[in-house]
Amino acid sequence: MGKANISSVDVKGKRVLCRVDFNVPIEDGVIGDDRRITEALPTLKSVLDRGGSLVLMSHLGRPEGKGFESEFSLKPVAERLGALLGRPVVFPSQDATDATAAAAVAALKPGEVLLLENVRFAKGEKKGDAEYAAKMASYGDIYVNDAFGTAHREDGSMFAVPKAMAGKPRVSGLLLEKELKFLGDALAKPAKPFVVVLGGAKVSDKIGLIENLLPKADAIIIGGAMAYTFLKALGREVGTSRVEEDKVAEAKRLIDLAAKLKCVLHLPTDHVCSDSFSESGDLEVFKGDIKPGFMGLDIGPETQGKYAMVLRRAKTIVWNGPMGVFEMRPFSQGTQSIGRAIAEATKNGAVSIVGGGDSAAAAEKFGVAAQMSHVSTGGGASLEMLAGKPFTTVALLD
């Protein structure tokens, strides 16, 4: 998208207001996975090493804008960030826009870092109102967007704040630039064969994405519960598998569109099934139709082999969504086999992009994340970008 990045701006003696995505899993004050923090470090170090100071904005979870809620506090993030940077991180108050926060921002010296409390504690964040935006905008001489995970949302800190900073530099961070490059290149000029792997529960989440990718992809591989809506559209018996009944006709339309556009749409031919949604139910593998009383919870061994063969020949791969209930051991093999096949293709020169969310979690769980070309930090954002939706938060950057 041709945006200026933080490296091209003189930050010496300047306060840089940077929107990051530190929405990390926290349980009992302990961070489970700090990848979103570590991925932002190159941008932060670029500012600090060149004599700038940092004011960081992030959300955590889904508080409702009613003020401070301890379970959604960014305090553990401030502590982890300080450890990673090897310097203290100022964490001023429970309100990002109060006098205490403003005074702490004003007192920042070059090389210092301040993390504001969760921006979603403020009503103005979701509404993006002018008073809130003006207060936050006053904290910086330069605005940086490095939060790809929320780039598809017009929240205050993503849209109203940079809008209020018109006339000042408004640039992308290095992580946002990397995300846009990988996902943008995958859409604009993919090396062929271009194979898309889609899984997860709902067809409805992926309709726009499938429509956007059908003219560009050589093959689309379907797994997860969404496969059963497609199979039902073809008249197959799917037992008690999850089906979006109101999307069966839409699935048939996409199957017909794939044939018309000469994109091969791969659907599972066998299924690992259970009579209950649990690890302890009766397990059975069905080829073709699924027996009444059983639900498909993973792709079967024949499908795993077929999908792996398609992936090994690919030159560009986008993976968004697991093949089954990978969190349960009996139904994890399909997703694991897909991850390994993509890692193998990458080793042989393919460009592989994992679209955040459950796919990223699965890639981490099965030890293949480090072997991929790029693992996105934004599940919903990568979905929307692959579906071809414009990001107004990116469009207003220089």
Give residue-wise pLDDT tens across range 6-61.
999 999 999 999 999 999 999 888 998 898 999 999 999 999 999 999 999 999 99
Reported as type and span, the H/E element at residue 351 is strand 351-354
What pLDDT shows up at residue 201?
A: 86
Residue labelled with tokens 């107004």: 392
User: Does position 223 have pLDDT exceeding 80, yes or no?
Assistant: yes
Which of 242, 252, 380, 389 is labelled catalytic? 380
Q: What is the mean pLDDT of the chain?
A: 94
Closest CA to 31 of 70, 61, 76: 76
Strands (E), 83-124: 89-90, 113-115
Q: What is the mean pLDDT of residues 79-97?
A: 96
Q: Is the pLDDT of residue 273 over 90?
A: yes
Q: Which pairs from 250-257 meet CB under 8 Å and 24+ separation?
A: 250/203, 250/207, 251/203, 254/207, 254/210, 254/211, 254/214, 254/230, 255/230, 257/211, 257/214
Half-sphere exposure of 195 (CA within 13 A, CB side): 23
State the catalytic residue, choosing from 14, 36, 163, 232. 36
SS3 42: helix
Is the pLDDT at 186 greater than 90, yes or no?
no
The Cα–Cα gap between 133 and 165 comes to 9
Give the confidence band of 358 by pLDDT, cuts at 50, 70, 90.
confident
Percent of the chain with pLDDT over 70: 99
Q: What is the mean pLDDT of residues 86-115?
A: 96
Neighbours of 175 (CB within 10 A): 24
Name which residue leads in pLDDT, 381 or 379: 381
Q: Which fold has domain 6-176?
A: Rossmann fold (3.40.50)
What is the reported pLDDT for 78? 97
Q: Indicate whether 316 pLDDT > 90.
A: yes
Question: In the predicted model, is pLDDT for residue 384 greater than 90?
Answer: no
Tell me what pLDDT residue 218 has: 97
**144 φ, ψ (degrees, to nearest 5):** -125, 130
Q: Does 193 sit behind a cis peptide bond, omega within 30 degrees of 0 on the bond before it?
A: yes
Rounded CA separation 374/315 (Å): 14
Strand arrangement of the beta sheet that strand 89-90 belongs to: 89-90, 113-115, 53-57, 15-19, 142-145, 170-172
From-to residues of CATH 3.40.50.1260 in the chain: 6-176, 190-386
The sign one gets for the Cα dihedral 213, 215, 217, 218 is: positive
> Which of 3, 75, 123, 202 is labelled catalytic?
202
- CATH 3.40.50.1260 corresponds to the domain 190-386: yes
What was the pLDDT predicted at 47?
98
What's the chain's length in residues? 398
pLDDT given for residue 1 in this prediction? 53
Known catalytic residue at 239: no
335-360 average pLDDT score: 93
Query: What is the average pLDDT across 81-108?
Result: 96
Distance CA(88)–CA(249), nearest Å, equals 57
Q: Are 125 and 63 in contact (CB under 8 A)?
A: no
Q: Is 35 part of the annotated catalytic residue set?
A: no
Residue 378 clears pLDDT 90, i.e. is over it:
no
Percent of the chain with pLDDT over 90: 81
Closest to 58 measured CA to CA, from 166, 107, 372, 43:
43
Told to judge if 356 belongs to the known catalytic residues of this protein, a careful annotator would answer no
Our answer to whether residue 293 is catalytic in this structure is no
**Taking every pair of C-alpha atoms in the chain, what is the biggest distance, in angstroms?**
69
* 274-301 mean pLDDT: 95
Question: 113-115 and 53-57: which strand pairing?
Answer: parallel
pLDDT on residue 60: 95
Mean pLDDT, to the nearest integer, of 143-163? 93
Residue of 300, 334, 357, 379 marked catalytic:
357
pLDDT tier for residue 189 given thresholds of 50, 70 and 90: confident
